[in-house]
């Protein structure tokens, strides 16, 4: 930073020249540099005349003339004779002064000795550094989500310090594409994902692995994306290896995939080159989850999909020869497709799906044979028509059963009665088991809890309202270890059960304290 030895005989205009030079070099306001100089001169003045004095310095913004003044406040009573003056004494100097006004006395210019000059320089350097940090933070705090270009300044413990011209940024090792390395002087392009103000100055954090970096690169290479005609709806990346990007066009005459690929792949190839050869699948986005998932699994071909919207899981059936392609190396293809779509994807071959369906058909048929005491023909007919649980038979309208070919009304009513009797018998068994386990009756009053659930809770040690109220919804329905995971409850139902169990807590808090005995006789009574 440019400096000047400030003495009483130095040309005052030189101060302004120094301020201009520093302001240009650091990219900060000239007034901020001059204010730093004023503070330095004030500090030197107080060192000479006494730290207890209120000494202020001003630099004329046009001539560079320095004025050093001692200020005293008119006060009544006077508590500090160094910085205050009584109204009577002030009146002798100026009869118009009143309490609260300040009187200023000019001080002779000071010669900066070696120590004073060094102190002043430190003050100026510190203030200029603070002003520079503030300027950097103001400049970059609104530039998050932008791509910037810079030069590698140095590498520290695997982290890359990047010179952006008017600031420094850090590219952490975990935000770099695997196997890429940088050396001092290399040019680097990265995405600003965070700007943080810290005591040591603004910290600008860069990334080359985030999905947003790829989005911004495509916006730079594809004019239709920049103009908003084509929209990137989702991005999933395995940095340095493979990525999937879903696009949609607002103009039906423009093919979004073709526009992103470019003539002979020129546009996508520019992005691939920047990302160290990362392979990119560009797919059309669709509002239909099934279609979107099928597109996302490209280049694999899909035979059939089965959606479960409650759990956001989707079952994808592929031909046997397409299985490895659909899953990808180390599961990469299906993992990226799941990230892109937001759905959990299960991949099955046609043979696996057929075997599973046969097993489900056999299991459901056996359930009806055992519970309803029917032959396998009737059981198979029920399963074929979509009945999978005893409750389906017990509580559906009779018309639904008579609609099955070969079922008349008397058969339908008989099957419904047998199903209800079976369920009642099961409930009695569960009730006996609940009592044997010592599960409180109060748990049975909570809506949504069936006798089978009460037994499962009891076997897991959940036997009172407080035991249940202490659980979280995850502890109740988590697929890995939730107590009631086998009952396929959703999060809303689980939360409803837990909140119902907690109602007695709120009731206890709201109930008034026991009143004093109302019928005690008054003092002195009989």
Per-residue pLDDT of 435-454, as tens digits, reads 888 888 888 888 888 888 88
Mean pLDDT of 351-375: 87
Q: Is residue 223 part of a domain?
A: yes
Tell me the residue range of the domain where 162 lies.
141-207
Q: What is the pLDDT of residues 485-512, one digit of tens each?
A: 888 788 888 888 888 888 888 765 555 5
Domain check: are 308 and 199 in the same one?
Answer: no
The confidence band for 434, taking pLDDT boundaries of 50, 70 and 90, is confident
Is the pTM higher than 0.75?
A: no
Domain check: are 118 and 230 in the same one?
Answer: no
Among 133-137, 282-286, 493-497, name the most confident range: 282-286
Mean pLDDT of 235-239: 93
Q: Could you tell me the strand order of the sheet in which 279-284 lies?
A: 230-238, 242-249, 279-284
Question: Which CATH number belongs to the domain containing residue 458 in this structure?
Answer: 1.10.150
Instruction: Look at residue 49 and tell me whether its pLDDT is greater than 90.
Output: no
What is the average pLDDT value for the chain, to the nearest integer?
Answer: 82
Which spans in 159-278 are helix H?
211-221, 223-226, 256-261, 266-274
Helix 376-384 × helix 350-372 angle, to 10°: 130
Q: Is residue 498 part of a domain?
A: yes
Give the range among 40-44, 84-88, 148-152, 492-496 with minimum mean pLDDT: 40-44
Q: Is residue 378 part of a domain?
A: yes
**Cα-based distances in Å from 350 to 347, 356, 358, 360, 481:** 10, 10, 12, 15, 30
Instruction: Look at residue 519 and tell me whether its pLDDT is greater than 60.
Output: no
Domain boundary residue among 150, 184, 207? 207
Instruction: Look at residue 522 and tell me whether its pLDDT is greater than 70.
Output: no
Q: Is residue 430 part of a domain?
A: no
How many helices (DSSP H) and strands (DSSP E) are in the chain? 20, 15
Domain check: are 130 and 18 in the same one?
Answer: yes
Among 3-7, 138-142, 172-176, name the most confident range: 172-176
pLDDT value for 244: 94
Domain boundary residue among 259, 285, 311? 285
pLDDT value for 483: 85
The confidence band for 11, taking pLDDT boundaries of 50, 70 and 90, is very low
């Amino acid at each position: 930073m440019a400096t000047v030895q400030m003495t009483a005989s130095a040309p005052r205009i030189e101060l302004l020249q120094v301020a201009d030079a520093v302001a240009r070099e650091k990219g900060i306001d000239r007034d901020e540099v001059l204010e730093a100089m004023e503070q330095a001169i004030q500090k030197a003045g107080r060192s000479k005349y006494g730290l207890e004095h209120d000494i202020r310095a001003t630099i004329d913004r046009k001539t560079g003339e320095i004025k050093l003044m001692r200020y005293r406040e008119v006060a009544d009573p006077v508590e500090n004779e160094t910085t205050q003056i009584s109204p009577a004494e002030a009146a002798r100097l100026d009869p118009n002064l009143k309490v609260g006004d300040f009187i200023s006395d000019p001080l002779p210019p000071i010669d900066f000795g070696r120590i004073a000059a060094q102190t002043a320089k430190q003050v100026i350097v510190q203030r200029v550094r603070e002003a520079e940090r503030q300027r950097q933070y103001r400049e970059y705090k609104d530039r998050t989500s932008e791509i910037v270009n810079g030069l590698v300044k140095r590498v520290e413990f695997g982290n890359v310090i990047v010179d952006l011209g008017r600031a420094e940024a850090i590219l952490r090792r975990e935000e770099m594409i695997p196997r890429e390395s940088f050396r001092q002087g290399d040019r680097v392009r990265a995405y600003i994902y965070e700007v943080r103000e810290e005591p040591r100055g603004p910290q600008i954090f860069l990334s080359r692995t985030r999905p947003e970096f790829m989005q911004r690169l495509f916006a730079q290479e594809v004019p239709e994306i920049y103009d908003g005609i084509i929209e990137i709806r989702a991005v999933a990346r395995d940095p340095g290896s493979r990525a999937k990007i879903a696009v949609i066009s607002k103009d039906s005459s423009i093919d979004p995939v073709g526009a992103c690929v470019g003539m002979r792949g020129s546009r996508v190839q520019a992005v691939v080159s920047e990302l160290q050869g990362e392979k990119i699948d560009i797919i059309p986005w669709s509002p239909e989850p099934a279609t979107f998932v099928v597109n996302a699994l490209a280049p694999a071909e899909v035979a059939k999909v089965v959606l479960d919207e409650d759990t956001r899981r989707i079952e994808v059936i592929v031909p046997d020869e397409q299985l490895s392609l659909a899953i990808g190396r180390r599961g990469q293809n299906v993992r990226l497709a799941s990230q892109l779509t937001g759905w959990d994807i299960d991949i099955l071959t046609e043979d696996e799906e057929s075997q599973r369906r046969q097993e489900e058909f056999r299991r459901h048929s056996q359930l009806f044979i055992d519970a309803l005491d029917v032959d396998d023909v009737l059981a198979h007919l029920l399963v074929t028509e979509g009945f999978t649980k005893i409750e389906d038979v017990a509580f559906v309208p009779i018309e639904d059963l008579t609609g099955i070919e070969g079922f008349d009304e008397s058969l339908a009513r008989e099957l419904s009665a047998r199903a209800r009797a079976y369920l009642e018998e099961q409930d009695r068994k569960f009730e006996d088991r609940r009592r044997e386990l010592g599960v409180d009756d109060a748990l049975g009053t909570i809506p949504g809890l069936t006798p089978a659930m009460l037994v499962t809770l009891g076997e897991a040690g959940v036997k009172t309202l407080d035991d249940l109220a202490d659980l979280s919804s995850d502890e109740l329905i988590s697929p890995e270890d939730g107590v009631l995971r086998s009952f396929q409850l959703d999060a809303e139902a689980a939360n409803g059960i837990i909140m119902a169990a907690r109602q007695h807590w709120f009731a206890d808090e709201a109930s008034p304290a026991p009143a004093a005995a109302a019928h005690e006789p008054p003092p002195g009574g009989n």
